[in-house]
Amino acid sequence: MTVMKDISIAKSEFKDGEKAITKIQDFADDPVLFEYCKYPGVVDVVKDLIGNPKSTVMAMHTMLINKPPDNGKLTSRHPMHQDLQYFPFRPADFICCAWTAMEKINRANGCLVVVPGTHKGVLLPHEYPKWEVRR
């Protein structure tokens, strides 16, 4: 398991270093964290999308992200991307990413955005765009 801290958060208003943890990755061997990956409400939806009720589903890239709202400097925004870039195996028709917000989300604090049809096109290069500040 990998635990990552954001240096800018650790050096900012948060004096408690624990709040600087922004990502826990590859936690499949942690029995407590992995329980959520087995949550029937998520697994059943994944099976509906890429399999059937008897399909075997495997977790390949487990991750928890603590993504605080941007502080106005546009440094905590993650650019739009296609998750398939992160999976070095195919066929793509049998890969599904499940995402769950742990608190109320909106555009201001980084909600998930889906562009219809992009799962059928080519993989685009990842880059950090110049963000517009909208208030």
Domain boundaries, the chain: 2-120
> Does 69 or 92 have the greater pLDDT score?
92
Q: DSSP character for 102? A: S
Question: What integer pLDDT is reported at residue 33 of this predicted model?
Answer: 92
Which residue, 98, 95, 124, is CA-closest to 112?
A: 98
DSSP reduced 3-state for 105 = coil
- Residue 128 sits at φ, ψ, to 5 deg, of -95, 110
Query: CATH classification of 2-120 is 2.60.120.620, yes or no?
Result: yes
CA of residue 97 relative to chain centroid, distance? 8
Reported as a pLDDT band with limits 50, 70 and 90, residue 28 is: very high
pLDDT above 60: residue 134: no
Reported as a pLDDT band with limits 50, 70 and 90, residue 32 is: very high
How far, in Å, CA of 124 to CA of 27, rounded?
28
Model's pTM, two decimal places? 0.69
